[in-house]
Structure 1
Amino acid sequence: MAIAAVRPAELADVPEITRIQLDTWRAAYAGLLPASVLSGLDAAEAEQAWRHTVRHGPALVLVATEGDWTVGFCAAGPAPEDEVADARGALPADAATTVLVSALVVEPRWGRRGHGGRLLATTARSLRDRGFTRGVAWVPEADQASLAFYAAAGWESDGTVRTLDTGAGRLRELRLTGSLDLSLRP
């Protein structure tokens, strides 16, 4: 087995980050999102957005590698107020030290090898070292694999739900939350 690692993303990683995101979303969300939404994902637009994020933030972007292959990535940074507020709009006491994990994607063919756990743990450690204490992530309610992954990290639903209009239906997401002091379990 090749050596697995996690490192900060560089601009040279952006095409692969984009490919992994779009290919994985098209596979993983085929049953959750309309085919027209998935086929309409624009690679050039996504690559431009990732290039900006890697260069300027505000999210920290890390990539997982196995040998010479980039196999996944994670993006997380300060959570916008609307991502941590309760249903009435009230902010929790720790809003200023909460991060949003906006993307955590491992290409399916590289799954079940610990890359997701390494990405989340390394991201959490980096952000904890910068004074952040808690994370949130939005996960489709029907995405049992992602829900189980976050549960293994000790993250759980805080009871907040949002429903997104996909243009051809609705997608219900759960807000998961947990400490950045992670203890991943098998």
Structure 2
Amino acid sequence: MMNVILRPATVADAAAIAEVRINSWRATYRGIIPASYLNDMKLEDSTAHWTKVLQAGSSKICVFVAENDEGIVAFASGMILPETKLGLDAELTAVYLEPDMQRARLGRRLVLEVAQACRTAGATGLLAWVISENKPARKFYEHLGGELLIEQGFTWDGMDLKEVAYGWKDISRLINDVPQLRSLH
């Protein structure tokens, strides 16, 4: 694998982040989310969303990208929650990788960056949501020591889905454990 660097995202990265997100969704959620929805995802809409997030410049939000010689190949974001959810005060809001970059240990490196940024901003715990049928993501969070907290229904753009929450009640433990994990599943 080429050298990959991790760095904080900038507004100039919004389109590349949007492209990674769409590519990841189309590969990961095929068969889980209707193909028509995945095919209709618009780069312009996602770019506008990420531009707004990155322009906000909030100390309560962090976004990191993984970049190699070909460009941005993955990203992750997190935030300090305005109110605790399930007893946790920060959320890992996104971890998306280009399909050919999955299982290259980038996801866990990005989670570590987000966890460290959230801890620096005062967080003590971390929450992550995933569509329940996304078995690889669930295994990933379980491998990182995430505790299954709840499974519930939710509606996304008119689709009725199920999601699960994983949590780390001690963000420092997550930060300390991630570098020692040897394999990703």
TM-score, normalised with respect to structure 2:
0.85
Q: Which residues of structure 2 form unaligned runs of 5+?
A: none
Instruction: Return closer, same or farther for 1:80/1:39 CA change in 2, 3 Å cut-off.
Output: farther
* Amino acid across the alignment from 1:172: K
Q: Who is 2:73 aligned against?
A: 71
Specify the SS of the correspondent of 1:3.
coil
1:147 pairs with 2:138: yes
Task: Name the % identity.
Answer: 26
* Amino acid across the alignment from 1:84: K
Structure 1 residue ranges (4+ consecutive) displaced by more than 4 angstroms after TM superposition: 166-169
Q: CA RMSD in A?
A: 1.9
Instruction: Return closer, same or farther for 1:28/1:131 CA change in 2, 3 Å cut-off.
Output: same
In structure 1, how many angstroms separate the alpha carbons of the residues matched to 2:100 and 2:61? 26
Q: Which moved more, 1:63-72 or 1:119-128?
A: 63-72
- How far did 1:164 drift? 2.3
1:172 pairs with 2:162: yes
**Equivalent residues of 2:20, 2:97 under 8 A apart:** yes
- How far did 1:80 drift? 4.5
Instruction: Pick one of 110, 113, 116 that aligns with 1:122.
Output: 113
Instruction: Pick one of 82, 94, 107 that aligns with 2:98.
Output: 107
In structure 2, how many angstroms separate the alpha carbons of the residues matched to 1:60 and 1:168? 28
**1:105-163 CA deviation, whole Å, 9 max, x = no partner?**
011111111110110011111211221111111111111110111111111211x2221
1:137 pairs with 2:128: yes
Instruction: Return closer, same or farther for 1:11/1:34 CA change in 2, 3 Å cut-off.
Output: same
Q: Who is 1:51 aligned against?
A: 51
Q: Which residues of structure 1 form unaligned runs of 5+?
A: 86-91
Q: When the two structures are aligned, how many residues end up with a matched partner?
A: 174
**Equivalent residues of 1:34, 1:166 under 8 A apart:** no
In structure 2, how many angstroms separate the alpha carbons of the residues matched to 1:130 and 1:3? 29
Specify the SS of the correspondent of 2:139.
helix
* Amino acid across the alignment from 1:74: A
**Equivalent residues of 2:80, 2:121 under 8 A apart:** no
1:61 pairs with 2:63: yes
Q: Which moved more, 1:51-60 or 1:113-122?
A: 51-60
In structure 2, how many angstroms separate the alpha carbons of the residues matched to 1:22 and 1:167? 15
Specify the SS of the correspondent of 1:79.
strand
